[in-house]
Amino acid sequence: MAENRAEVDALASSKAEPTFENTIAALDRSAQNLSRILGVFFNMTASEANDALQAAERELMPKVAAHQSWFTLHEGMFKRIDTLYQKRQSLGLKPEELRLLERYHLDFVMAGALLKGRDRERYAQISEELASLFTTFSQNVLGDEGAFCLELKTDEDRAGLPDFLLDAAKSVAQSKGIDGYAINLSPSMVDPFLTYSKRRDLREKVWRAFKARGESCPERDTKAIAEKILCLRGEMARLMGYKTFADYALVDRMAKKPQAVSDLLMRVWEPAKKRALEEQKDLEELAAKEGFKGPIMGWDWHHYTEKLRAERYNLDEAELKPYFQLENMISAMFDAAGRLYGVDFKEIKGVPLYHPDARLFEVRGKSDNAMVGVFIVDSYTRETKRGGAWMSEFRGQSKNRQGGYPYPIIINNTNYAKASAGKPTLLSLDEVHTLFHEFGHGLHGLLSDVTYERLAGTNVLRDFVELPSQINEHWSMAPEILKKHALHAQTGQSIPDRLVKLIKETEHFNQGFLTVAYASCALIDMSLHQVEKPETINLAEFEKAECARLGVPEAVGMRHRLPQFRHIFADNGYAAGYYVYMWAEVLDADGYEAFEEKKNPFDPELAAKLKQYILSAGNTMDPAEAYRKFRGRDPDVKVLLRARGLL
């Protein structure tokens, strides 16, 4: 940080007249050592955190935030940027250079560069305070996840559990020093346990523990932390001249205004809620046939949904799962990317990485063998790793970097339950989609082909960044990919046409539940950040009142309850922004329909356009323009409603 401060001070105090090269391009080249070290640090605290690293994180994050504020509030640096910005149209800049200048100017403005005096100081203080609170929130949720362990001691405890889940439960038990079987709070354990366990009391115990993350014990309760975060965000927005944090956050998004978000979400909300209530009625009728009395609850939904799927479609998730071996699905995603974008993935062994589960691949062009990037895969859940799935980078792509190495180093993290030794890890359909989703982000980083790192890869508007990931999920179910890679774990036989057909037929099954569980979170996130006086918010009461106002079915609930909602409380990235998945889904559903119209999921002309304008272009052009160049028109929201079966 000291080195970077000297670097920026030197740029800002230069006696030379500011030019694009000596100011903007130079700024893009700066902080190389700091970026490299932060890349390692952030990836380690997310993927392999121990007590020492977490202590370092608590100490360092406020200092990192203070450094970032110092940078974006640097009057000398902003003066040079603003001088160029004011005469940008007369500088004869190339389109990418103009975009970079405009992005840097907006970065500084949105981070308080126009503030004066006490307001300027307060903005920096808020940034520091938030960094500390974000770290505590995230570590507390991780602590709750690591503290829970349900030991399955008897045959009765394990009743109904298929072999793949017992293998994973044995692996969890071994990691905790238990001789036997245990369930943790990884979704890859929770979801199948809720699906197959015949013990309703144990299903309830696991469900309640999963939903209580962030408030399961007083010393790790996150509600007060979240309330403080909301207050500071509100103050930050007011300093910047906005009524609410939602107004402030959406300035640099495709949606622009909270109303545009609400309009989209509500078009989906009412049809989804209606469908979910119909699904609940179907489940209760099925449960009644088995003698179950009383309403379906959250810990029953997965269980009876799987039974209904088997009855209605003769499709059992346990029958499907042996066809989706993790190793084969990683090969499948590489194969699809190779067919679409002309890249090869070769595993390089013997490279020292941060954990034995992490694997490294060299990515090269098929036609010229040119280096494209380095890709790291870290697949398995562990107590030292935060939950969920995400893509990150150790180094972004840049042709402007000093010392060479223009190619990126990208990592995908997932949290799959590892099978016991000698057995393959098997994935559910949802987990296969997650694998391809994160790989879509990975491809966005790997295939970036721009000059400046600030515009590279996933450095795009937040409601555009999910397009590459979500559209990539479609290729997980491409018939050519399934036939080659979906091979049965015991027999080695390719997945039969009957199951492929049933997967297609059931893609709208349970969509009411899935849409309500997601959209409720997106709507409540937006409502939370539109409160003009956030100091009045009681988090528990707010969540309860909003669920009642929206009419969220109790048996469905929110996918992420507020005390554990890391998307919006572990940093500012997705705050007033959880809607972006659905915003991008409009683009991805409409975009993939182009391939369906061609009746070829690997149509070379469309693949080339997708690569050129979406995956490789980074933030070098307006995202709406980029989409039009790929698709030939603006997206149609009706395609999303059709894709979810909600029309």
Beta strands in 371-416 (DSSP E): 371-380, 390-395, 409-416
Cβ-based neighbour number of residue 417 at 10 Å = 25
Beta strands in 56-121 (DSSP E): none
Q: Using CB atoms within 10 A of its CB, is residue 135 exposed (0-12), middle (13-18) or buried (19+)?
A: buried
DSSP 355: S
Closest CA to 47 of 308, 548, 393: 393
Cβ-based neighbour number of residue 432 at 10 Å = 23
Long-range pairs for 263-268: beta carbons < 8 A, 24 or more residues apart: 264/579, 264/582, 264/583, 264/586, 264/637, 265/519, 265/522, 265/523, 265/526, 265/579, 265/582, 267/637, 267/641, 268/515, 268/519, 268/582, 268/640, 268/641, 268/644, 268/646
DSSP 88: G
| Residue positions annotated with a catalytic role | 438
53: its two tokens:
């690293």
CA distance 542 to 230: 12
Q: DSSP readout, 229-287? A: HHHHHHHHHHHTT-SSHHHHHGGGSSS-SHHHHHHHHHHHHHHHHHHHHHHHHHHHHHH
CA angle (479 as vertex; 474, 480 as ends), nearest 5: 105
With H, G, I as helix, E, B as strand and everything else as coil, classify residue 116.
coil
Only one residue has tokens 């006490």, namely: 118
